Amino acid sequence: MKESVWTANANLPEFKALCNDEKTGVLIIGGGICGILCAYYLQQSGIDYILCEASTIAGGITKNTTAKITSQHGLIYEKLIRNCGKEKAHMYLAANQKALAEYEKLCQSIDCNFEKKDAYTYSLIDRAKIEAEVAAVNSLGFDADFAEETELPFRTKGAIRFKNQAQFHPLKFLSEIAKGLNIYENTPIRELTPNAAITDCGKIFADKIIVATHFPFINKHGSYFLKLYQHRSYVAAFENAADINGMYVDEASNGMSFRNHDKLLFIGGGGHRTGKQGSAWREIVSFAEKYYPSSQLKYQWATQDCMSLDEIPYIGQYSKNTPNMYVASGFNKWGITSSMAAAMILSDMVQDKTNDFAEVFSPQRSMLKPQLFANGFEATKNLLTPTPKRCPHLGCALKWNKAEHTWDCPCHGSRFEENGTLIDNPATGDANI
């Protein structure tokens, strides 16, 4: 069954569509976990807002997360210190630790399988990398340690451990958080004008706008089509497998991840840039057959991550030319924690409050030229590929995804059903297949 374990046992509230003109202080576009948390914090602050979701809340990427809540984002802190300095590296760590603490506080009154777990990033080949990351994190005042042994079924060169991180059931969480919020479902935003957002049957006049649509869909500002690409990741859940008592991720980009939920073991792997080919679930199932021969496959699903070029999300003002428009995107593979950090930062920004962590996530920071060149080259190559099957976003050639039977765009990650029906943005309409 190719649906996530979360969708099998969640009961999300439903909201009506918006069918008239409205005026609001803040318009939030996108009803995933980031947009919903933005709405929640604005409502807590007494700010007038509207959230518009093109389909149904949590119906896109959010329902397919592995739902780890952690400030350990692979081996990122040694790179951050080297590239951005200790102050910004500490800012990044503190923002994510605050997000973790906020989830813990909210989950005290919500039955959503919230559990404290240690988080591990392991290496199969490079002990020195792990040691360097432990030293970097400790230099920021956070108590990470080197784990010689893990509960994984294979040998590693060691792992960095962050204690007291967490995991939960994201849809159970959102089913409570979303209750009573000013949300409209089945209300796509078709166009933004200087003073209004256009829906299928009306206009929304807003003083400020938050774009929380996973991949920003407004191309004429911010150059996100150059600053982002998308990555497919595959997950399978197995019964009668081990309890590994933690959350694990390989430091290698093509490695595997692990966590438990209830009596299931989640194994992630087989990932690839959207529009490319990967091993998908085959790699995961083969791994389980080898290391957990008594296990049975219960669920399998896939997700999609927006990848920033420097591994830091884009959270803040959408562009220099749009002072009243804000964005949250580029969460890499850490969307749950980053969504909370983004919601706290953006709910402050739209109220003209200073946020202690905003600087490190600023979308206006400079991007390294080699990274921009590599991403631009990929887009140009696919724009020049001769095929009638094109993405309606910016015209790139679509590629067939054999594992999921979809048409995928290798430039910016839009995805379509076999008949061209839109699945994932930044495209806003169907493809002509």
Contact 321, 221 (CB under 8 A): yes
> pLDDT by residue (tens digit) across 77-86?
999 999 999 9
pLDDT number for residue 374? 66
- Cite the DSSP H helix spans in 45-187: 77-84, 86-107, 127-139, 170-177
> pLDDT by residue (tens digit) across 285-301?
999 999 999 999 999 99
Average pLDDT over residues 28-54: 98
Contacts of residue 149, defined as CB under 8 A and 6 or more positions apart, other chains included, come to none
Mind giving me the DSSP string for 305-348?
EEEETTSS-EEEES-TT-TTEEEEE--TT-HHHHHHHHHHHHHH
> pLDDT by residue (tens digit) across 10-33?
899 999 999 999 999 999 999 999
Question: For residue 120, how many C-alpha atoms fall within 13 Å in the half-sphere facing its CB?
Answer: 24
Model confidence, pTM: 0.93
Average pLDDT over residues 71-76: 98
pLDDT number for residue 95? 98
Q: How many angstroms separate the most distant Cα atoms in the chain? A: 61
pLDDT over 60 (residue 56): yes
CB atoms near residue 297 (< 10 Å): 16
> pLDDT by residue (tens digit) across 116-136?
999 999 999 999 999 999 999
Going by the DSSP 8-state scheme, the letter that residue 179 receives in this structure is T
Average pLDDT over residues 354-365: 96
pLDDT number for residue 432? 82
CA atoms of 61 and 75, how far apart (whole Å): 24
Task: Give 415-422 contacts, CB < 8 A, sequence gap 24+.
Answer: 415/274, 415/304, 416/391
pLDDT over 60 (residue 409): yes
Average pLDDT over residues 89-103: 98
- Identify the CA nearest to 189 among candidates 200, 177, 205: 200
pLDDT number for residue 367? 72
pLDDT number for residue 368? 67
Going by the DSSP 8-state scheme, the letter that residue 78 receives in this structure is H
pLDDT number for residue 412? 81
- Which residues make beta-bridge pairs with 236? 267, 300
pLDDT number for residue 372? 67
Band of pLDDT at residue 394, cut at 50, 70 and 90: confident
Question: Hey, what domains does the chain have and what are their CATH numbers?
Answer: 9-65+172-226+311-361 (3.50.50.60), 369-424 (2.102.10.10)
